[in-house]
């Protein structure tokens, strides 16, 4: 049975329930503060719609044992029967020693109606509830846009410190086609399988800065793909003609 935690006199933080999705769907995009400018209000509403459609079957599947780490957990903040905000957290690695804050969302209109400070107050209480409720987590991490001052203030107030600066870049299809016209001077390229997990782990460990490596706490199993993930990638490649490739490199700042 999930444990409820009351933080403050009348603000209650508890796990998300199926009945909450009807209330969350009534939230207007312009009233939402997602805590990060890279997470638009439209994306939050889309996630709520997806959560409503999949919550029931996923809840049933969660009763069956499976080797993969549990997906994200959602907690909601409630006051006087009204939902004020919610937070999503998820394990970052297979050993579940590091957890990641995926999203903190506060409804400014509801918070103002209930005379609550808003994003800082509700967000802090949601974060602190997760710190207490998720006993497996030794380390917490998150990713936030450096231009979002409100989110930075929230996370710094609750003890988060900068770990690394990440820059995202991508190649347009036209660039990929142009690059494919040349034969690169590279060794033989072979598909990666679970048999390469130990080599990937060693490469990752050797290239990662010590502090980042300690926080990520990756093990060999983190570089293995489960049966469901393999099946999903195969369907995307064969049916949808879609193949996702992602990687990262570490670069020292000058």
pLDDT category, 2, cuts 50, 70, 90? very low
Residues 6 or more apart whose CB falls under 8 angstroms from that of 99 comprise 89, 90, 91, 92, 130, 134, 136, 137, 139, 140, 141
- pLDDT at position 57 over 60: no
- Between the CA of residue 189 and those of 46, 185, 192, 245, what are the distances in Å? 38, 11, 9, 14
Residue positions counted in the chain:
254
211: which 2 tokens?
């502090």
Q: Which CATH class is domain 5-157?
A: alpha beta
DSSP string, 135-203: TT-SEEEE---TT-HHHHHHHHHTT-------------HHHHHHHTTS----PPP----GGGHHHHHHH
pLDDT reported for residue 217: 93
Distinct helix (H) and strand (E) counts, the chain: 9, 7
Residue 110 exposed, middle or buried by CB count within 10 Å (0-12, 13-18, 19+)? buried
Q: Tens digits of per-residue pLDDT, 67-107? A: 434 578 889 999 888 889 999 999 999 999 999 998 898 88
Domain ranges of the chain: 5-157, 173-238
CB 102 within 8 A of CB 86: no
162: which 2 tokens?
């900068």
User: Per DSSP, what are the bridge partners of residue 103?
Assistant: 88
Distance CA 57, CA 71 (A): 14
How many other CB atoms are there within 10 angstroms of residue 245's CB atom? 4
- pLDDT at position 232 over 60: yes
**139-142 vs 98-107, strand pairing mode:** parallel
Window from 82-91, 105-114, 126-135 with minimum mean pLDDT: 105-114
Q: Tens digits of per-residue pLDDT, 14-56? A: 998 878 877 887 887 777 887 654 454 456 656 666 555 555 5
């Amino acid at each position: 049975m999930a444990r409820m935690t009351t933080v403050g006199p009348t603000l209650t933080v508890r796990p998300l329930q199926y009945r909450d999705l009807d209330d969350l769907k009534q939230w207007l995009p312009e009233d939402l503060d997602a805590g990060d400018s890279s997470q638009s209000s439209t994306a939050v509403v889309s996630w709520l719609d997806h959560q409503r459609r999949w919550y029931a079957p996923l809840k049933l599947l969660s009763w069956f044992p499976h080797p993969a780490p549990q997906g994200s957990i959602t907690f909601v903040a409630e006051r006087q029967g009204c939902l004020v905000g919610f937070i999503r957290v998820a394990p970052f690695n297979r050993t579940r020693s590091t957890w990641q804050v995926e999203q903190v969302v506060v409804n400014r209109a509801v918070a103002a109606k209930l005379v609550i400070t808003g994003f800082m107050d509700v967000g802090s209480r949601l974060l602190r509830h997760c710190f207490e409720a998720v006993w497996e987590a030794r380390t917490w991490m998150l990713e936030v846009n450096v231009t979002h001052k409100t989110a930075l203030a929230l996370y710094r107030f609750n003890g988060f410190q900068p770990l690394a600066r990440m820059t995202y870049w991508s190649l347009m299809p036209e660039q990929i086609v142009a690059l494919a016209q040349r034969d690169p001077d590279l060794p033989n390229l072979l598909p990666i399988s679970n048999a390469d997990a130990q080599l990937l782990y060693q490469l990752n460990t050797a290239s990662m800065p010590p502090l980042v490596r300690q926080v990520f706490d990756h093990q060999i199993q983190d570089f293995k793909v489960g049966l469901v993930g393999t099946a999903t990638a195969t369907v995307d490649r064969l049916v949808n003609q879609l193949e996702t490739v992602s990687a990262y490199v570490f670069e020292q700042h000058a």
